[in-house]
C-alpha cells in the first residue's frame, strides 16, 4: 500500500471530524508517518541490516537498577538461548541475587516490564511471555544482524531504546487526538506495519544474508502481535484491486435488485408475513356476511392490482438504481480522465521520444474522454429522457397515487365502505395487513440505505484507484530522466535481464531485476504479477527507489558519475542501506568502494555456502561495473 493512500485515510478522517486541535494533531501524525516510513523503508531495503550500534540509555538504566557493570551486555546471546526465558521464571530469578544468572534475569525482567516490548513478545496475547515466544523474538533479532556471531545483548539494548523512543513520540501527539483521529492514525500505522511485514519496501534484489525485515519484531514495535490477523484484513481491504472493487460494486447492485424484488433475506421474511396477513384478511373478508359480495370482490381486485403496480414500480426502481450507479461511475471516470489530461505536462526541450510519448498519452486521454462522454449521455437519456426510466416510474406512480383515479384512492373508498358494516375481526385483519405491508417498506428502505452507502463507498474507492492509475500513466508517459541515469539504467538492465525465479534467490520472482514485492508496492495491487511490469515502470522504480534514495543522483549532479554508478548499482544489487554503508566507508573513493563491494560478495558466500551458485554471476557483474567506471580495468577472477 502506498503512503499516499495512508495519508488520504487521515485526511478523510480530518475532513469528517476535524477541529483546529485535531488538525494540529493530524498534521503531527502525518509528519510522523513520513519519518517512520522513511526510516523503515531504508531499514527494509537493507538486506545487510546493521542497525545495532548503541543502546546507551537502556544499558545505563539496567546497570543502575541491577548494580552490574556494562560487561553484562557483551555476553554471547547463545547463553540466553539455553536459559528458561518465560515471564514467570524471569520474574522469579530476577529476585534471586545469589544466582549466577541474576544479571541476565534482572535485565530481562526490565525488558518484560516495558509494555511496548511485552506486547510484541506476547504473540498469543495471553498476558504472559512464554519461553518459546521470547526465544523466537531473539532468533528474529539475530537474523537481522549480518554478523550474527557478534550478536549480543548490546544489540537488544539498542532495539529497546529505539522502540521506547518511538513510543514516546506517539504519546506526544496521541494525547491531542480525539478518538476519530486515533482510529485514523492507528489504521494508517497498521498498514505501514503490514507493508514492512510483507517486505514490500525491500531492495529490488534480496541477496540472502541471514534474515530480513519480514521477520523483524522491531518493525511491529508499537502494534500488538495479536493484531496481525486484523491488520492483514485491513490492509487487504485498503489495497483492494480495481477488479475486486468492481466485483463488490456489482454485488451491491445485485443486492439492491434482490431487495426491490423481495428476494433478499431480511425483506423476504417481512414480505412472507405480509402475504400471510393478506391471505388472512381476504379469508376473513370472504366469510364476513356483513359486507356485500360485490364490495368484497372489488376490494380484493383493487388490492391485487395495487400489489402488481407496486411490483412494477420496484422493478423500475431497480433499473433506475442500476443506471444511476453506472452513471456515477461514468461521471467519476470522466472526471478522472479530465483531471489526468489537465495535469499532463508537456516535456521540455527537444527530446523527440519524450514528445512522442506525451502526444500518444494526450491522444489516448482525449479519445477516452470522448468515449466516456458519449457513454454518459446515453445513460442520462436512459434515465431522464422522454421515454426514460424516471418518466416510466412517474407514470406508474400516477396510476397508483392519483387522488381521483388512482388505485390507492379506490382502495380507500372501498375500505371506508367496508368499515361501515364489517365485523371487528375483519377490521383487525385489514389493519394487520396494512401494518405488515408498511413493515416491508420499512425493511426495504433500511436495507437499501445500507447497501447504497456501501455502494457509494466502493465507487469512491474505485475512483481513487483510477485516479492513481491515470496519474501513474501520466508520469510514465512524461518521465524525462537525466542523461546520467538513462545511461546507468541501460547498464543495470543489461545485468538484470528479464524474468527470473531462481529457487535459491530469497527475493523470489524478479523481472528487470524488480522483485514481485517491490512491484506490488509500486502498483498498490497485492496480486500484481511482476511478469507484467513494463520497462517504463521498472525505470521509475529504479529512479525513485534506488538512484535517488541511495544518494547516487547527488553524486551525478556534482559531476562524479563514476562513483554515482557504483553506488546506484550496489543499491540495486544489495539494497539501499548496504550501498549507503559502503559509501560511508569508501568516503567517495571509487576504488575503495569497489573493494568493499567485492568483499561483500565474498562474505555472502562464506556465511551461506548455498549462495555459491550466484558467485560467478556476481563476479562478472562486479567486473562489468568496474569496467564501465574505469575502461582500463582488467577482469579479476577473485573467486579463484
Query: Is residue 568 within 8 Å of 546, Cβ to Cβ?
Result: yes
Cα gap 237→433, rounded to integer Å = 43
Average pLDDT, the chain: 75
500 SS3 class: strand
pLDDT at site 217? 24
Length of the chain, in residues: 640
Non-local (6+) Cβ contacts of 629 within 8 A are 562, 563, 565, 566, 590, 594
Cα gap 540→547, rounded to integer Å = 10
C-alpha cell at 431: 389493519
Please state, for a pLDDT cut of 90, what percent of the chain lies above it. 34
Q: Is the dihedral of CA 34, 39, 42, 46 positive or negative?
A: negative
Cα gap 422→635, rounded to integer Å = 110
Mean pLDDT of 436-454: 92
Q: Sorting pLDDT into bands at 50, 70 and 90, what band is 446?
A: very high
> Would you tell me the crossing angle of helices 561-574 and 576-586 to the nearest 10 degrees?
140
pLDDT of residue 125 exceeding 80: no
pLDDT of residue 550 exceeding 70: yes
Q: Does the predicted TM-score (pTM) go above 0.85?
A: no
Among 390-399, 423-432, 463-472, which is the least confidently predicted range?
463-472
pLDDT of residue 361 exceeding 50: yes
Among 306-315, 400-409, 475-484, which is the least confidently predicted range?
475-484
- The count of other CB atoms within 10 Å of the CB of residue 533 is 21
Please provide residue 514's backbone torsions phi and psi, each rounded to the nearest 5 degrees.
-95, 125
- The count of other CB atoms within 10 Å of the CB of residue 584 is 9
Query: In this predicted model, which residue has the larger pLDDT, 15 or 45?
Result: 15
pLDDT of residue 329 exceeding 70: yes
The rounded Cα 572 to chain-centroid distance in angstroms is 25
Cα gap 406→386, rounded to integer Å = 23
Mean pLDDT of 290-299: 92
pLDDT of residue 225 exceeding 90: no
Among 265-274, 325-334, 555-564, which is the least confidently predicted range?
555-564
Mean pLDDT of 8-36: 53
570 SS3 class: helix
Q: Sorting pLDDT into bands at 50, 70 and 90, what band is 64?
A: low
Among 459-463, 476-480, 504-508, 619-623, which is the least confidently predicted range?
504-508
Non-local (6+) Cβ contacts of 326 within 8 A are 379
pLDDT of residue 564 exceeding 70: yes
Query: Is residue 426 within 8 Å of 418, Cβ to Cβ?
Result: yes
Q: Cα–Cα distances in Å, from 391 out to 327, 382, 384, 524, 636?
A: 17, 10, 7, 43, 83
Query: For the domain 483-629, what is the CATH code?
Result: 1.20.141.10
Task: For 382-434, give the DSSP string.
Answer: HHHSTTSHHHHHHHHHHHHH-TTTSHHHHHHHHHHHHHHH--HHHHHHHHHHH
What is the 8-class DSSP label of residue 623? Answer: H
Cα gap 269→626, rounded to integer Å = 76
pLDDT at site 56? 53
Q: Where are the beta strands (DSSP E) in 460-581?
A: 510-511, 514-515
Residue with cell 400471510: 276
Predicted confidence (pLDDT) per residue in 236-282, tens digit:
333 567 888 899 999 999 999 999 999 999 999 999 999 999 999 99
Give the residue range(s) of CATH 1.20.141.10 domains in the chain: 483-629
Cα gap 89→130, rounded to integer Å = 9
C-alpha cell at 63: 546497570
pLDDT at site 489? 87
Non-local (6+) Cβ contacts of 94 within 8 A are 102, 105, 106, 108, 109
Q: Sorting pLDDT into bands at 50, 70 and 90, what band is 344?
A: confident
Most confidently modeled of 60-64, 222-226, 260-264?
A: 260-264
Query: In this predicted model, which residue has the larger pLDDT, 398 or 32?
Result: 398
Q: Sorting pLDDT into bands at 50, 70 and 90, what band is 160?
A: low
Amino acid at each position: 500500500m502506498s503512503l499516499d493512500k495512508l495519508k488520504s485515510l487521515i485526511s478523510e478522517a480530518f475532513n469528517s471530524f476535524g477541529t483546529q486541535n485535531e488538525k494540529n494533531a493530524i498534521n503531527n501524525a502525518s509528519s510522523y508517518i513520513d519519518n517512520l516510513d522513511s526510516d523503515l523503508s531504508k531499514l527494509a531495503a537493507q538486506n545487510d541490516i546493521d542497525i545495532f550500534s548503541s543502546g546507551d540509555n537502556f544499558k545505563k538504566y539496567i546497570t543502575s537498577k541491577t548494580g552490574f557493570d556494562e560487561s553484562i551486555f557483551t555476553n554471547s546471546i547463545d547463553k540466553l538461548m539455553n536459559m528458561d526465558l518465560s515471564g514467570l521464571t524471569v520474574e522469579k530469578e530476577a529476585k534471586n541475587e545469589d544466582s549466577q544468572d541474576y544479571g541476565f534475569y534482572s535485565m530481562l525482567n526490565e525488558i518484560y516490564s516495558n509494555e511496548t516490548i511485552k506486547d510484541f513478545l506476547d504473540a498469543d496475547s495471553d498476558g504472559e511471555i512464554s519461553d518459546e515466544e521470547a526465544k523466537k523474538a531473539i532468533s528474529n533479532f539475530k537474523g537481522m544482524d549480518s554478523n550474527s556471531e557478534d550478536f549480543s545483548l548490546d544489540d537488544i539494548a539498542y532495539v529497546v531504546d529505539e522502540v521506547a523512543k518511538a513510543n514516546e513520540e506517539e504519546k506526544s501527539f496521541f494525547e491531542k487526538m480525539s478518538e476519530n483521529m486515533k482510529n485514523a492514525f492507528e489504521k494508517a500505522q497498521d498498514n505501514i506495519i503490514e507493508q514492512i511485514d510483507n517486505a514490500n519496501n525491500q531492495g529490488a534484489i534480496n541477496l540472502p544474508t541471514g534474515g530480513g525485515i519480514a521477520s523483524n519484531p522491531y518493525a511491529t514495535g508499537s502494534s500488538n502481535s495479536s493484531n496481525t490477523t486484523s491488520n492483514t484484513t485491513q490492509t487487504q481491504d485498503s489495497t483492494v484491486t480495481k477488479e475486486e472493487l468492481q466485483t463488490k460494486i456489482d454485488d451491491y447492485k445485485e443486492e439492491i435488485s434482490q431487495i426491490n424484488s423481495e428476494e433478499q433475506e431480511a425483506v423476504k421474511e417481512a414480505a412472507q408475513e405480509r402475504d400471510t396477513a393478506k391471505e388472512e384478511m381476504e379469508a376473513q373478508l370472504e366469510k364476513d356476511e356483513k359486507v356485500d359480495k360485490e364490495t368484497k370482490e372489488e376490494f380484493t381486485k383493487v388490492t391485487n392490482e395495487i400489489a402488481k403496480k407496486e411490483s412494477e414500480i420496484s422493478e423500475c426502481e431497480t433499473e433506475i438504481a442500476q443506471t444511476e450507479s453506472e452513471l456515477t461511475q461514468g461521471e467519476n471516470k470522466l472526471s478522472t480522465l479530465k483531471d489526468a489530461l489537465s495535469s499532463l505536462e508537456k516535456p521540455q526541450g527537444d527530446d523527440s521520444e519524450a514528445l512522442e510519448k506525451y502526444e500518444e498519452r494526450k491522444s489516448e486521454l482525449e479519445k477516452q474522454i470522448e468515449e466516456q462522454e458519449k457513454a454518459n449521455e446515453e445513460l442520462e437519456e436512459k434515465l431522464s429522457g422522454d421515454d426514460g426510466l424516471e418518466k416510466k416510474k412517474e407514470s406508474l406512480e400516477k396510476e397508483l397515487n392519483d387522488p381521483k383515479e388512482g388505485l390507492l384512492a379506490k382502495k380507500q373508498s372501498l375500505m371506508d365502505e367496508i368499515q361501515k358494516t364489517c365485523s371487528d375481526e375483519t377490521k383487525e385483519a385489514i389493519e394487520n395487513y396494512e401494518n405488515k405491508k408498511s413493515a416491508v417498506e420499512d425493511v426495504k428502505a433500511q436495507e437499501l440505505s445500507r447497501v447504497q452507502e456501501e455502494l457509494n463507498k466502493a465507487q469512491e474507492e474505485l475512483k481513487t484507484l483510477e485516479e492513481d492509475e491515470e496519474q501513474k500513466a501520466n508520469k510514465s508517459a512524461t518521465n524525462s530522466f537525466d542523461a546520467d541515469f538513462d545511461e546507468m539504467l541501460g547498464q543495470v538492465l543489461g545485468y538484470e535481464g528479464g524474468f527470473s525465479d531462481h529457487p535459491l534467490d530469497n527475493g523470489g520472482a524478479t523481472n528487470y531485476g524488480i522483485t514481485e514485492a517491490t512491484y506490488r508496492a509500486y502498483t498498490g495491487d497485492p496480486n500484481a504479477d511482476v511478469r507484467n511490469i513494463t520497462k517504463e515502470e521498472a525505470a521509475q522504480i529504479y529512479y525513485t527507489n534506488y538512484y535517488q534514495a541511495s544518494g547516487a543522483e547527488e553524486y551525478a549532479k556534482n559531476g562524479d558519475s563514476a562513483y554515482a554508478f557504483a553506488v546506484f548499482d550496489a543499491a540495486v544489487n544489495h539494497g539501499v542501506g548496504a550501498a549507503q554503508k559502503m559509501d560511508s566507508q569508501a568516503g567517495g573513493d571509487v576504488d575503495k568502494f569497489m573493494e568493499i563491494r567485492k568483499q561483500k560478495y565474498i562474505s555472502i558466500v562464506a556465511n551461506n555456502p548455498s549462495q555459491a551458485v550466484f558467485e560467478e554471476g556476481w563476479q562478472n557483474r562486479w567486473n562489468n561495473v568496474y569496467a564501465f567506471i574505469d575502461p582500463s580495468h582488467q577482469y579479476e577472477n577473485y573467486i579463484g
